[in-house]
Amino acid sequence: MDIMNPALVLPLEIQKQEDELKIRSLTIKRWLRTEEVALYLGTTVGAIRVMVHRGQLNPKKYCGRNYFSRTDIDGLIETSDTKQRRFQWR
């Protein structure tokens, strides 16, 4: 029984390298789309949409697409309060 089948490991390594390149390229871009912001923050597209709805992120609309300033996203991270408690539903 092969634990590390090379035919399976190679595609996973290629995918990992592609993901790392995508994340590195996001630090160069000034404007990010919704999918790129989700990748940059390590969350889902749905979570980004919720943040827009709550007013935590303010996108610019161009040709029917939302664009987010990377500096605004970085500022959001830097100014976030780690002691902030989540709203609890009762």
Per-residue pLDDT tens over the stretch 19-77: 777 777 777 788 999 999 998 898 999 999 999 999 999 999 999 999 999 999 999 88
pTM: 0.65
Q: What is the distance, to the nearest Å, from the Cα of residue 47 to the centroid of all Cα atoms in its chain?
A: 9
- Whether 32 is in a domain gets the answer yes
Q: How far is CA 26 from CA 56, 73, 74, 88, 90, in A?
A: 20, 12, 12, 34, 39
- Whether 5 is in a domain gets the answer no
Q: What pLDDT, on the 0 to 100 scale, is given for residue 90?
A: 57
Would the pLDDT of 89 be above 50? Answer: yes
- Whether 55 is in a domain gets the answer yes
- Whether 51 is in a domain gets the answer yes
Classify 87 as helix, strand or coil: coil
**Residue 47: partners with Cβ closer than 8 Å, 6 or more residues away:** 38, 41
- Whether 39 is in a domain gets the answer yes
Domain span at residue 72 reads 28-77
Classify 82 as helix, strand or coil: coil
- Whether 53 is in a domain gets the answer yes
- The structural domain count of the chain equals 1
Q: What pLDDT, on the 0 to 100 scale, is given for residue 87?
A: 62
Q: What is the distance, to the nearest Å, from the Cα of residue 31 to the centroid of all Cα atoms in its chain?
A: 13
